[in-house]
Structure 1
Amino acid sequence: MSLKEKIIAGVLKQPFSLYQLTTYDPSKPVNMVVGSMYSLYKGWIHSDIETLNLLKESDWQKYFNENSIDKILAEHVWEHLTLEEGQLAFKHCHTYLKQGGFLRVAVPDGFNPSEEYINYVKPGGTGNGADDHKLLYNYQIMSRSLESVGFTVKLLEYFDENGQFHKSPWNPEDGMIRRSADHDSRNAGGKLGYTSLIIDAYKS
C-alpha cells in the first residue's frame, strides 16, 4: 500500500469500515477482514475493533446473521488476545460462518527455530506491536483451540516442533497473508526471513 493509501485508510478507517459493514449485499459472497488496520482488499468487508470487537457477540449481531459469512481473514490479530479470548473469538467466527465457509488465520509462529524471530514476536518482544502480544501460538495450540469450537483444521504454513517448515499451496484470492513464505519481501532469495503460522479453519 502506498503512503497516500495508508493516510486515506487511516483517516477513513472507522467510517469506511462502518459503511462497508452496513451496506454490503448479503446476496453476494460475504468475505470479511478482521483487524484489517490499513489493508484494503477488493471484494472484502474491512473491520477493526472500533467497528467489530471479536469478543462481543452484540457487535457480530449488529451486522450479520448466523451462518451468513463465506470467508473471514485475520492476519496477526489473535496473538493480541489471551488464549481464552481467542477461543471465544473463534467461537463467534464459527457461529457466523456459513457451512463450508472458513476462517484463514495467521499469527507469529512459536515453533520458528530462529531465536531472533522469537525475540521479535514474543509477548513483550522487540517487534512492532509485540508489547501488546498476549500469546505465542504454535500449530498445536492453535489447532486444538480451533477444533475445540468445531472447526476442521487445514495447516497451510507452519514450523513443527523440530524446526522443520511445512507449506501447502493456498490461493491469495481466498485471503491474502502478506507475512508468508511467498509474499514477504524478507524471504527474498529463498531464505525464510519471516513467516507466519497460517491455518484455514473450515465450518463443516
Structure 2
Amino acid sequence: MNSLRKVVRAIVLKPKNILDLMQLKSKIKNSTGPLNIIIGSENTAYDQWLPTNIESLNLLEKQSFENLFGHKKASKFLAEHVFEHISYADALIALKNCYAFMEKGGHIRIAVPDGFHPNKDYIEQVKPGGHGEGSHDHKLLYDYQKLTKVLENAGFSVNLLEYYDENKQFHFVDWKSEDGHILRSRRFDKRFNEPLGYSSLIIDGIKD
C-alpha cells in the first residue's frame, strides 16, 4: 500500500515539478543579477532568492547542477536545516558541487542543529532518532568543528556566525539577513530566550 501511494503521489506531482523546473531554469537563464539559491525548500519565499527542492536540484548529482544552471553560477546558496538529513560523505559531495557551481567570492550559508548545545533536552530533540520534528530522518549531529571540516575539505574557507563551542559557550557575530535568512537563529527564533534555548549552528562557507 505504501509503495502504491508513492507511485500515485509521483504521478500526481510530476506535472507540477516539471513546470516548476522549467520556470526556475527560465528565471536563471534570463537573470542579469546575482543568483541566490535556496536549497531543499521549494516553499520558502525570500526576496531576490530562488527556492529549489530535490526535483529541481539534486545536490549529489553534478548533472542536476548543469541542467539547472547551464553556464551560469550561483552567487549564494542557503541551506537551513538540510545537511543534517544527509550523510557526511554525501555532504562532502554536495558541497563540492556547490563550490563548482558558485562564483568566486560567493558563499553558502548553512544552518544545522548544534551538537555542542548545552541543553540535554535540545540534543534529545535534534539528534538522529530523536523526538523532535524531522529528527527521525537526521543522519548526524554536527558541531562547529565537524561542519568546518567538511566545508574546508570541499574547498571553502569558513566564517562562523552562530555556534556553541566544546565548553558550551555561545558565540555569534552580526550577520546580514539578505545574505541568507535563517529563521532558527538567535535573532529570529523566539525560543532562543526560552528555557530550551533553541538555536542553530550557522556557518558561511566562502569561495575565495
Q: What is the TM-score with the length of structure 2 in the denominator?
A: 0.87
User: Could you give the per-residue CA deviations for residues 154-201 of structure 1, whole angstroms, max 9, x where no partner exists?
Assistant: 000000001000001100011100000010021247x67211000011
Partner of 2:25: 21
User: Could you give the per-residue CA deviations for residues 15-38 of structure 1, whole angstroms, max 9, x where no partner exists?
Assistant: 445512332333211000001143
Calculate the aligned-residue CA RMSD, in Å.
1.9
Kept after mapping to 2: 8 A contact 1:108/1:136: yes
Q: Which of these residues, 120, 134, 148, is aligned with residue 125 of structure 2?
A: 120
Kept after mapping to 2: 8 A contact 1:108/1:196: yes
Kept after mapping to 2: 8 A contact 1:106/1:196: yes
Kept after mapping to 2: 8 A contact 1:150/1:203: yes
Q: Distance in 1 between matches of 2:108 and 2:63?
A: 20
Q: Distance in 2 between matches of 1:176 and 1:148?
A: 25
Q: Distance in 2 between matches of 1:120 and 1:192?
A: 10
User: Could you give the per-residue CA deviations for residues 42-100 of structure 1, whole angstroms, max 9, x where no partner exists?
Assistant: 11111011211111111001011467110000000000000000010010111011000
Q: Which of these residues, 75, 95, 98, is aligned with residue 100 of structure 2?
A: 95
Residue identity (%): 44
Residue 64 of structure 1 aligns to which amino acid in structure 2?
F
Q: Distance in 1 between matches of 2:113 and 2:50?
A: 24
Kindly report structure 1 stretches of 4+ aligned residues shifted beyond 3 Å.
Answer: 11-18
Query: Within the alignment, does 1:177 sit opposite 2:194 as a pair?
Result: no
Partner of 1:195: 199
* C-alpha spacing 1:120/1:66, structure 2 compared with 1 (3 Å): farther
Q: What is the TM-score with the length of structure 1 in the denominator?
A: 0.88
Bigger radius of gyration among the two: 2
Residue 169 of structure 1 aligns to which amino acid in structure 2?
D
Ranges in structure 1 where 5+ consecutive residues have no aligned partner: 1-10
